Chains A and B, each alone.
Chain A
Amino acid sequence: MEESRDGDWTLVARKPYFGLPTACPVCLPVYIYLKFARCPFNLEINSAYPDSDQIPYVEGGTYVAYNNEKGGVIQQLKQDGVVDLDSEFSSLPEWVSMKAMMSSWLADAITYELWLGSGENSAKQIYYSDLPWVIGKVLFVKQVYDVKQRFNISKQNAEKKEEEIYDRAKAAYRALSTMLGEQDFLFENRPTSLDADLVGHVLFTLKALPEDSVIRAALLEHGNLVRYAERHKNDFLTSGQSSASASNFQPPPSAAQASSSSKPKRKPKREKTEEEKSFQRKAKYFIGAQLVAVLLFLSLLGSSSKADLDEDDED
């Protein structure tokens, strides 16, 4: 495996391809989520287990958050107090419905396109290019069969199912495009896991799927979604690893790891992130209030000067 030793947390994901740090549509949102949260982590690649539902997973010491537990990696990281960007929004009806739509309609569209649609070559590149040919071929055939079983697709209903999946994806794009507008993020101009999911989906669709892909063409009709994803891609690809924020949950030390220099215990990450955001919010309010006060002062000062001039004229 390839490693980059930058922090205590490690994200194990599938291989990079198509200009993406990880080309797997399930791993990419987790990567982006950790970037949004400014959580320093290493990226390790696992190319030997394409059919594993445990990947992606985040590990730190003896702690591991697998993707097939507790609703996924992101959900586990939130529940275990490692990193949570959704604390203020996860109970909002709009957030819940958007989350459900993304994890069902858009996820199904990607799955269908990769394994049964025009993305077959992309799937082989992402999942099987590092495996011996025989193994890759058998696993691919098995995965195609499993996807057909999952969608309950047969020769009789194949077209109908395809149309249904594409229609839902298009409807989802319209809703998300309308909701996003020209904002930087979907909710209150702050990143959430929903933004991570959407950015990951859009980037994967644009970069990994071929040009004749139906959902790719449908996505390109919504320019704001494309600009939104490209903007964030540039941000997290050029920002590098930030070590300013510390994890809320200190990974337990691993006895087998080579002894590294002992690091001072950092404060819980969640509090610091919320504190920082709260401080920034208050700072904005303060600056806004100061600006209003100055404007009021100037306007009042201006009106009193005019009144003096009028009195002088009457005399």
Chain B
Amino acid sequence: MAKPDEFKPDSPSENPKTEVDDENGDDGYEEEEEEETEEHELDEEEDDEPEPQLRGRIPQSAVRMQQAKLQGLFQRLQTQTVPLRVHDVLIKGNTKTKDYLIESEAALFKNCTTMQQILEVSRAVNFRLQALEIFDSVKITLDSGPPELPGTSNVIVEVQEAKSPLSGEIGAYTKAEARSSTVEGTLKFKNIFGHGDLWDGSFAYGWDNLAELSAGVHFPRFRGASFPLDVRAFLLSQDWLQFSSFKERSMGLSVALLSSTNHDLVYNLGWRTLTDPSQLASRSVRMQLGHSLLSSLKYTFKVDRRNSPLRPVRGYAFAATSQIAGLAPDSRCSRFLRQEVDLRYAIPLGILNSALNLGISGGIVFPWGTGFKTLPSPLPDRFFLGGNSSPISSLGGPTTVWGYRTRGLDPTEPRRQLKSNGGDEDAADPGVDFLGGDLAVTAFADLSLDFPLRWFRDRGIHGHIFASAGSLERLTQNAYKDFSLQKFVSSFRTSVGAGIVVPIQPFRLELNYYYMLKKFEHDRGKPRFGVTFSM
């Protein structure tokens, strides 16, 4: 915080100097940082004459006068508006980083009209420059403006570029282009071309048998644009042999065109290959094996006004994701429309910090183009219900019905039957493939409450009782003609349960007991204890 020693607003100081060095806030970065302590020093002029710089030459009475004046200045800064505007922003210390990058972050100074605003903006600019991850330290100093322009100051932004361009991270992330949360290890190269560019190579592993190798570059303000640009090349492999008898391999480019708190716009261009090394796939899966080109635009709007995504007690959250695939001049690429919607609402109940969380998620996917009514939807883009993540914290479309295992809900299809060597008798049952649905809806209600013991409350450990329901339906290949709302509603599977929630930032760990109230023949779910892990 600003702590000026002395300031006279009525007589413009010829030599005022203010240094504003802010700490980095709770940005979550794990790189090394330098903390700069704040200093505010103001030199006072005496009767239009330059002030003596050394305290040793000033008599005691003058020192006491200066201290009193500074006290008065501090009080005035707190209670009054001190008019001051910025004449120029000077940048020092950048040998590699382009000026435009720092100037664009410091552009907020131009609109400042008071000392208080300048100090506030200084903190914001310092934070944003530190957030670029390319500087070891950032120091912002206020200097006096030109003598012919009273009431102005110059801002000096002094940066110290990172000595080591290399850094590493391990963390848990949820990216716009990823389908689930991942644990990721990253190696970063910073500011190679001086545009604030961050180059990284990373390896990620997700909970749903996802492995991804990617390399990307992040430009905070590419060529003066007001929004960042992210480009990633990825090689992704996902193994669904156990559930649906296919493996997916994708390689391509992902470009985050717009990324902000509420909006994400990502373009994906990928070559996707589905294979079946087991050679046991059912007919519907066999029909989809092969190569396809995916060129899609995905837009996500998300607003989360809950007090905490790990344990929401009040507030609401809404997310909608729209994806259109087939954006290429080549009509032979994969074409479909996909829409997901999530709504969460937390109602505080007032006793033992209890809350009722309600949520509903829905999704639909449908092909488009010539003959779209008879075409199947792409298998990897369908909706699959089941898994070990909690629907409370995740806003990624209809994915989970508590208690059902990964991809554990109908529709299914029998796999290839192998003939035994003995003759016409069937070999061991190879099981079924879970095919997913084109339409999916899930809903849940969760009552959470604190335990009476303080030990649990202090650690955020609480209990919950829940109920959930969900269903999948095929619509493509003319199956929509047989669709009826009544039939769909009657096909909902339901489960109830209770458990303990242990929040381990940034994860939510649940130890639950599930009981299925309604399930179908091939659904993979049964009364059991289970662990849910989500972030």
By the criterion CB–CB under 8 Å, are B283 and A255 in contact?
Answer: no
- Residues facing A in B376-411 (CB within 8 A) are 411
How far, in angstroms, from A256 to B435 measured CA to CA in the complex? Answer: 11
Stretch at the interface among A47-55, A149-157, A274-282: A47-55
By the criterion CB–CB under 8 Å, are B417 and A139 in contact?
Answer: no
Point out the residues of chain A lying under 8 angstroms from B330, CB to CB.
132-133
Partner of A131, one of B291, B412, B413: B291
By the criterion CB–CB under 8 Å, are B414 and A46 in contact?
Answer: no
Query: Given contacts A54-B279, A132-B330, A133-B330, is CB(A255)–CB(B290) below 8 Å?
Result: no
- Residues facing B in A1-17 (CB within 8 A) are 1, 12
Partner of A48, one of B292, B415, B416, B419: B292
Cβ of A63 < 8 Å from any Cβ of B? yes
Query: Given contacts A62-B414, A62-B417, A256-B284, is CB(A135)–CB(B293) below 8 Å?
Result: yes
By the criterion CB–CB under 8 Å, are A132 and B279 in contact?
Answer: no
By the criterion CB–CB under 8 Å, are B283 and A59 in contact?
Answer: yes
Q: Closest approach, in angstroms, between the C-beta of B60 and any C-beta of chain A?
A: 82
By the criterion CB–CB under 8 Å, are A48 and B291 in contact?
Answer: yes
By the criterion CB–CB under 8 Å, are B291 and A49 in contact?
Answer: yes
How far, in angstroms, from A252 to B328 measured CA to CA in the complex? Answer: 42
Query: Given contacts A59-B286, A130-B332, A133-B330, is CB(A254)–CB(B414) below 8 Å?
Result: yes
How far, in angstroms, from A69 to B289 measured CA to CA in the complex? Answer: 18
Point out the residues of chain A lying under 8 angstroms from B417, CB to CB.
61-63, 252
By the criterion CB–CB under 8 Å, are B332 and A131 in contact?
Answer: yes
Report whether over half of chain A's contact residues are helix, strand or loop; otherwise say mixed: loop
How far, in angstroms, from A12 to B276 measured CA to CA in the complex? Answer: 16
Residue on B nearest A139 in the bound complex, by CB: B291
By the criterion CB–CB under 8 Å, are A256 and B271 in contact?
Answer: no
By the criterion CB–CB under 8 Å, are A134 and B413 in contact?
Answer: no
By the criterion CB–CB under 8 Å, are B293 and A63 in contact?
Answer: no
Partner of B414, one of A54, A69, A256: A256
Report the interface size for chain A: residues with CB under 8 A from the other chain. 31
- Residues facing A in B312-353 (CB within 8 A) are 328, 330, 332-333
Query: Given contacts A54-B279, A59-B283, is CB(A134)–CB(B293) below 8 Å?
Result: yes
Cβ of A66 < 8 Å from any Cβ of B? yes
How far, in angstroms, from A131 to B330 measured CA to CA in the complex? Answer: 9
By the criterion CB–CB under 8 Å, are B293 and A52 in contact?
Answer: no
How far, in angstroms, from A63 to B289 measured CA to CA in the complex? Answer: 17
Query: Given contacts A132-B293, A132-B330, is CB(A1)–CB(B287) below 8 Å?
Result: yes
How far, in angstroms, from A257 to B424 measured CA to CA in the complex? Answer: 22
- Residues facing A in B410-446 (CB within 8 A) are 411-417, 419, 424, 426
How far, in angstroms, from A53 to B426 measured CA to CA in the complex? Answer: 25
Residue on B nearest A63 in the bound complex, by CB: B417
By the criterion CB–CB under 8 Å, are A132 and B328 in contact?
Answer: yes
By the criterion CB–CB under 8 Å, are B279 and A135 in contact?
Answer: no
**0/1 string, B254-286, CB within 8 A of A gives 1:** 000000000000000001000010010011101
Q: Closest approach, in angstroms, between the C-beta of B303 and any C-beta of chain A?
A: 37
By the criterion CB–CB under 8 Å, are B290 and A63 in contact?
Answer: no
Point out the residues of chain A lying under 8 angstroms from B283, CB to CB.
59, 254, 256-257
How far, in angstroms, from A54 to B416 measured CA to CA in the complex? Answer: 14
Query: Given contacts A59-B283, A59-B286, A256-B284, is CB(A135)–CB(B413) below 8 Å?
Result: no
How far, in angstroms, from A80 to B419 measured CA to CA in the complex? Answer: 8
How far, in angstroms, from A255 to B282 measured CA to CA in the complex? Answer: 11
Point out the residues of chain B lying under 8 angstroms from A80, CB to CB.
419
Query: Given contacts A64-B416, A255-B414, is CB(A69)–CB(B282) below 8 Å?
Result: no
How far, in angstroms, from A256 to B333 measured CA to CA in the complex? Answer: 27
How far, in angstroms, from A68 to B289 measured CA to CA in the complex? Answer: 16
Point out the residues of chain B lying under 8 angstroms from A59, CB to CB.
283, 286
By the criterion CB–CB under 8 Å, are B289 and A52 in contact?
Answer: yes
Query: Given contacts A62-B415, A64-B416, is CB(A49)–CB(B279) below 8 Å?
Result: no
- Residues facing B in A48-94 (CB within 8 A) are 48-50, 52, 54, 59, 61-64, 66, 69, 80
Partner of B271, one of A12, A44, A135, A254: A135
**0/1 string, B103-127, CB within 8 A of A gives 1:** 0000000000000000000000000
- Residues facing B in A87-136 (CB within 8 A) are 130-135
Point out the residues of chain A lying under 8 angstroms from B416, CB to CB.
62-64
**0/1 string, A281-306, CB within 8 A of B gives 1:** 00000000000000000000000000
Residue on A nearest B276 in the bound complex, by CB: A54
Q: Closest approach, in angstroms, between the C-beta of A55 and any C-beta of chain B?
A: 9
Query: Given contacts A130-B332, A132-B328, A135-B271, is CB(A256)–CB(B289) below 8 Å?
Result: no
By the criterion CB–CB under 8 Å, are A255 and B413 in contact?
Answer: yes
**0/1 string, A36-49, CB within 8 A of B gives 1:** 00000000101111
Residue on A nearest B478 in the bound complex, by CB: A258
Residue on A nearest B295 in the bound complex, by CB: A132
How far, in angstroms, from A290 to B286 measured CA to CA in the complex? Answer: 56
How far, in angstroms, from A47 to B328 measured CA to CA in the complex? Answer: 19
**0/1 string, A244-267, CB within 8 A of B gives 1:** 000001001011110000000000
By the criterion CB–CB under 8 Å, are B332 and A46 in contact?
Answer: no
By the criterion CB–CB under 8 Å, are B290 and A49 in contact?
Answer: yes
Q: Closest approach, in angstroms, between the C-beta of A47 and any C-beta of chain B?
A: 8
Point out the residues of chain B lying under 8 angstroms from A62, CB to CB.
282, 414-417
Point out the residues of chain B lying under 8 angstroms from A256, CB to CB.
282-284, 411-414
By the criterion CB–CB under 8 Å, are B290 and A48 in contact?
Answer: yes
Point out the residues of chain B lying under 8 angstroms from A54, CB to CB.
276, 279
How far, in angstroms, from A133 to B332 measured CA to CA in the complex? Answer: 9
Chain B residues proximal to chain A, CB less than 8 Å: 271, 276, 279, 282-284, 286-287, 289-293, 328, 330, 332-333, 411-417, 419, 424, 426
10 closest A-B pairs by CB = A48-B290, A49-B290, A62-B417, A256-B413, A132-B293, A132-B330, A64-B416, A132-B332, A135-B291, A62-B414
Chain A residues proximal to chain B, CB less than 8 Å: 1, 12, 44, 46-50, 52, 54, 59, 61-64, 66, 69, 80, 130-135, 139, 249, 252, 254-257
10 additional A-B residue pairs with CB within 8 Å, beyond A64-B279, A256-B411: A44-B287, A46-B289, A47-B290, A54-B276, A59-B286, A62-B282, A131-B332, A134-B293, A135-B271, A256-B283
Query: Can you pick out 30 interface pairs between chain A and chain B where the beta carbons lie within 8 Å of each other?
Result: A12-B286, A44-B287, A47-B290, A48-B289, A48-B292, A49-B289, A50-B291, A52-B289, A52-B290, A61-B417, A62-B415, A63-B419, A64-B416, A66-B279, A69-B279, A80-B419, A131-B291, A131-B293, A132-B330, A132-B332, A133-B330, A134-B293, A135-B291, A139-B291, A252-B417, A254-B413, A254-B414, A256-B283, A256-B411, A256-B414
